[in-house]
Amino acid sequence: MTTTTDRPAPQHTAERTGRIGAGVFNPRQLLTSLPDALRKLHPRHQVRNPVMFVVWVGSVLSTVFAIGDPDVFTIAVALWLWFTVLFANLAEAVAEGRGKAQAETLRRGKKETVARRLAPDGTEETVPGVSLRIGDLVVVEAGQVIPGDGEIVEGIATVDESAITGESAPVIRESGGDFSSVTGGTTVLSDRIVVRISTKPGESFVDRMIALVEGARRQKTPNEIALTILLSTLTIIFLLAVLTLQPIARHSGSVQSVIVLTALLVCLIPTTIGALLSAIGIAGMDRLVQRNVLATSGRAVEAAGDVSTLLLDKTGTITFGNRRATELIPVGTSTADDLAAAARLSSLADGTPEGRSIVELCARRHGLPAEATEAESAGEFVPFTAQTRMSGIDLDGRLVRKGAASAVRAWVTDQGGESADEVRAVVDRVSAEGATPLVVAEVVAGTPVVHGVVRLSDVVKPRMRDRFAELRSMGIRTVMITGDNPLTARAIADESGVDDFLAEATPEDKMALIRREQEGGWLVAMTGDGTNDAPALAQSDVGVAMNSGTMAAKEAGNMVDLDSDPTKLIEIVEIGKQLLITRGALTTFSVANDLAKYFAILPAMFAGIFPQLDKLNIMNLATPQSAILSAVIFNALVIIGLIPLALRGVRYRPSTANALLRRNLVVYGLGGILTPFVGIWLIDLLVRLIPGIG
């Protein structure tokens, strides 16, 4: 592994054009979620949120006074306090409602199945799928539904997983490898497999996913708990401040009514973020589900936002995985066109990704046909074998071959020719650069000719360097994990732009790397799909297992990617950061909101005995009652106005922590101060028209 003394310094990069966000917010969701919001008015639900429980108690108290001594102001304050609680419930209900809609889709796709269970003596018995237990062996054939989560212990089959992943293309699952895991509710399309059940009834992958997206098992994350404690502390402080305000007011000769004190308390405590906190957490999980990622806990989503080190597998994540022809290097008297023509002929019958890429390269750069002509089809194709390590074609007296350098060299020697030193030099140079050389030669009129070398490279995916630069700008260090030799690993690392690499990696090496990073105080994220990845997935702070992988990998990780796309780890980190940014932005906005409410309510309460306070009435509010009622109304309406932002998430831009803080303070801090001044003033223009208040 390469060594670095310091973590890479954040660098400014161009902003990505795309952004992470959830689905479009539909205002009709407010109406459809209203019944759930009304049910949440029960005190048993409200007591879970200390801030909103105080508002709920204030609403009850105001309602009692409104019934006992009704007047327009008291009734209006009581109603808007109830609206404040209702809007907070509505934010949570809308977030949960989106999850319930996704859960209903999953539930419709879940089928009650009948299983063919194998007895110890090898006989079959038909039993309901719900009666299966861990360790049971079941037989599934073409057209049948897999009755439960498990691993294939015998056979190979194509499986339709569209009910889970949404991907219509079938996948291949087989025993004995990293693609042996199957999910209950998916359908076998071909062949016969024997599956060992690995979950209890009601605890399958689909069951857990349904419970997750419905929010039934969502637990508060550590950061969310910490923020709840902070909000509760602020609420207690403001409650004590309001309670001590009455003796001061009595001493000053301006006794305040319980309604006014209640309104003051509700406007002073952080009701906005208290109302939206749960919705923000649910929406973060929802954004993951929309990307076909199942997180077993909200803690994992939050940890993704704090990740400092990203471990990425080279094959399939940073590179395409299949080597592709990237360059034709002629030697001797042969031209590039001569080499292209011979390389294409030798690859027409080669169905491997490498062979197809050679034909595509020759067609793209030299204008040669991508398909065999009728005359070429009449030739005798020579397939690649592990023994010969060559492939080619015999056509009209021409013998054309391509393959490993040593194999082609031996073939040329057998044909009475010899391989020039120039060919050896090119082969050595291509190998030293981390690529794979294929030598192309042919025999024409009995004379062997070596045309040149085809460079096969494990091609880095487009824009990977830009993606890694964005991660670097966020202070995230990227490490490429590969089984390649250090020379090849360094070449890929330099081309892709990763910060570090671990070559010839073993499971023990991965574990050691993760532990070193964690001992330094960094959070680590990685992906994996095999049983040998399970220890590292369990050790990492964010372990994303591929759905196509083994059950051991999925059990070890705290996230499962249903699409089995390793590059999605980068998106998961961005979603986690967006969750943290959204929570921080709305907390800043909520706290900043209170400043304008001070200017609205406090002068109104004491201007009668301290005329000097009227100078603080910079919004020129009509009367003390209209000022207080306007602040209460704004306090309720701002919650409903911020629901779309809480669900969609604050726009995410890769940048440094300092830049994010500055943006947060300018947009949501300053905006949180100015918005209430404008909002309360506009509401007061309407409230002052109400008889008995204006």
- Residue 313 pLDDT > 60, yes or no? yes
| CA atoms of 435 and 430, how far apart (whole Å) | 6
Neighbouring residues of 607: CB distance < 8 A, sequence distance ≥ 6? 613, 614, 617, 624
- Residue 169 pLDDT > 60, yes or no? yes
Instruction: List the one residue out of 635, 505, 496, 673 whose CA is nearest residue 570.
Output: 496
Hey, what amino acid is at 625?
A: Q
Instruction: List the one residue out of 498, 491, 23 whose CA is nearest residue 291.
Output: 23
Give the up-direction half-sphere exposure of residue 177: CA atoms within 13 A in the CB hemisphere.
Answer: 7
**Contact (CB, 8 A) for 111 and 667:** no
Q: Are residues 34 and 54 in the same domain?
A: yes
Q: Give the pLDDT confidence score for residue 531 in this predicted structure.
A: 73
Hey, what amino acid is at 98?
A: R
Residue 41: which domain range? 27-99+213-288+574-688
Flag whether 111 is in a domain.
no
**What's the CATH code of the domain at 534?**
3.40.50.1000
Q: Are residues 515 and 451 in the same domain?
A: no
- Residue 322 pLDDT > 70, yes or no? no
Q: Are residues 504 and 555 in the same domain?
A: yes
Q: Give the pLDDT confidence score for residue 247 in this predicted structure.
A: 84
Which of the listed ranges 21-30, 162-171, 181-190, 355-364 does the model predict with the highest average pLDDT? Answer: 355-364
**Contact (CB, 8 A) for 404 and 438:** yes
Backbone phi, psi, residue 146, to 5°:
-70, 125
Flag whether 112 is in a domain.
no
Q: Give the pLDDT confidence score for residue 2 in this predicted structure.
A: 39
Q: Give the pLDDT confidence score for residue 217 in this predicted structure.
A: 47
Averaged over 439-457, what is the pLDDT? 88
Q: Give the pLDDT confidence score for residue 9 in this predicted structure.
A: 35
Q: Give the pLDDT confidence score for residue 473 in this predicted structure.
A: 79
Place of tokens 């049948």: 144
Question: Where in 331-384 does DSSP place strands (E)?
Answer: 380-382
Instruction: List the one residue out of 651, 641, 631 whose CA is nearest residue 585.
Output: 651
**Contact (CB, 8 A) for 454 and 477:** no
Q: Which of 136, 178, 286, 313 is catalytic?
A: 313
Q: Which two tokens stand for residue 599?
A: 């200017």
Q: Are residues 604 and 671 in the same domain?
A: yes
From 562, 585, 604, the end of a domain falls on 562
Flag whether 124 is in a domain.
no
pLDDT band at 636 (very low <50, low <70, confident <90, very high): very high
Q: Are residues 342 and 444 in the same domain?
A: yes
Over residues 532-591, the pLDDT tens digits come to 788 888 888 888 888 777 777 878 888 888 777 777 888 888 888 888 899 989 999 988
- Residue 407 pLDDT > 60, yes or no? yes
Q: Give the pLDDT confidence score for residue 7 in this predicted structure.
A: 36
Instruction: List the one residue out of 693, 550, 558, 682 whose CA is nearest residue 620.
Output: 682
Which residue has better confidence, 119 or 17?
119
**What residues pair up with 294 in beta bridges, in sequence order?**
560
Q: Give the pLDDT confidence score for residue 166 in this predicted structure.
A: 56
- Residue 59 pLDDT > 80, yes or no? yes
Distances, alpha carbon 540 to alpha carbons 209, 292, 300, in Å: 22, 21, 10
Q: Are residues 419 and 362 in the same domain?
A: yes
Instruction: List the one residue out of 119, 21, 33 whose CA is nearest residue 577.
Output: 21
Question: Where in 278-418 does DSSP place strands (E)?
Answer: 293-295, 309-313, 319-330, 380-382, 390-395, 398-403
pLDDT band at 452 (very low <50, low <70, confident <90, very high): very high
**How many independent structural domains does the chain possess?**
4
Q: Give the pLDDT confidence score for residue 112 in this predicted structure.
A: 65
Q: Are residues 587 and 682 in the same domain?
A: yes
- Residue 364 pLDDT > 80, yes or no? yes
Over residues 480-529, the pLDDT tens digits come to 888 777 877 888 888 888 999 988 888 888 889 999 988 988 889 888 87
Q: Are residues 452 and 466 in the same domain?
A: no
Q: Which spans in 433-567 are helix H?
A: 464-473, 486-496, 507-519, 534-539, 551-556
Q: Are residues 482 and 451 in the same domain?
A: no
Give the chain's largest Cα–Cα span: 118
pLDDT band at 632 (very low <50, low <70, confident <90, very high): very high
Q: Give the pLDDT confidence score for residue 29 in this predicted structure.
A: 76
Which of the listed ranges 25-29, 109-113, 604-608, 690-694 does the model predict with the highest average pLDDT? Answer: 690-694
The DSSP bridge pattern shows strands 447-460 and 319-330 to be antiparallel
Does the active-site annotation cover 614?
A: no
Flag whether 490 is in a domain.
yes
Q: Which two tokens stand for residue 425?
A: 């030099």
- First CA to last CA distance, the chain: 74
**What's the CATH code of the domain at 418?**
3.40.1110.10
Flag whether 14 is in a domain.
no
| CA atoms of 572 and 16, how far apart (whole Å) | 16
Pairs from 386-393 (Cβ < 8 Å, separation ≥ 24): 391/346, 391/347, 391/349, 391/350, 391/355, 392/345, 392/346, 393/345, 393/346, 393/348, 393/349
Give the DSSP H/E element, type plus range, for residue 453.
Answer: strand 447-460
Q: Give the pLDDT confidence score for residue 89 in this predicted structure.
A: 92
Backbone phi, psi, residue 187, to 5°:
-115, 135
Neighbouring residues of 644: CB distance < 8 A, sequence distance ≥ 6? 25
- Residue 79 pLDDT > 80, yes or no? yes
| CA atoms of 186 and 195, how far apart (whole Å) | 13
Over residues 127-159, the pLDDT tens digits come to 888 788 888 999 998 888 888 888 888 888 888
Task: Report how many helices (DSSP H) and strands (DSSP E) the chain contains, helices first.
Answer: 25, 22
Q: Give the pLDDT confidence score for residue 137 in this predicted structure.
A: 92
Q: Which two tokens stand for residue 269?
A: 């405590």
> Which residue positions form the known binding site for ATP?
350, 354, 384-391, 402
Distances, alpha carbon 440 to alpha carbons 208, 400, 411, in Å: 55, 8, 11
Q: Are residues 280 and 304 in the same domain?
A: no
| CA atoms of 109 and 100, how far apart (whole Å) | 14
| CA atoms of 590 and 280, how far apart (whole Å) | 14
Hey, what amino acid is at 63?
A: T
Over residues 23-43, the pLDDT tens digits come to 455 677 788 888 888 999 999
Flag whether 474 is in a domain.
yes
Neighbouring residues of 235: CB distance < 8 A, sequence distance ≥ 6? 50, 51, 54, 269, 270, 274
Over residues 339-361, the pLDDT tens digits come to 999 999 888 877 777 888 899 99
Q: Are residues 659 and 522 in the same domain?
A: no
**What's the CATH code of the domain at 195?**
2.70.150.10
Averaged over 462-479, what is the pLDDT? 84
Residue 445's region, left for phi above 0, alpha for psi from -120 to 50, else beta, is left
pLDDT band at 100 (very low <50, low <70, confident <90, very high): low
Instruction: List the one residue out of 593, 598, 599 whose CA is nearest residue 616.
Output: 599
From 562, 590, 623, the end of a domain falls on 562
**Contact (CB, 8 A) for 390 and 402:** yes
| CA atoms of 292 and 571, how far apart (whole Å) | 11
Flag whether 299 is in a domain.
yes
From 459, 477, 492, the end of a domain falls on 459
pLDDT band at 3 (very low <50, low <70, confident <90, very high): very low
Give the chain's mean pLDDT: 81
Averaged over 56-63, what is the pLDDT? 94
Question: Where in 228-387 does DSSP place strands (E)?
Answer: 293-295, 309-313, 319-330, 380-382
Q: Give the pLDDT confidence score for residue 106 in this predicted structure.
A: 61
Flag whether 326 is in a domain.
yes
Q: Are residues 225 and 80 in the same domain?
A: yes
Q: Which two tokens stand for residue 113?
A: 């199945």
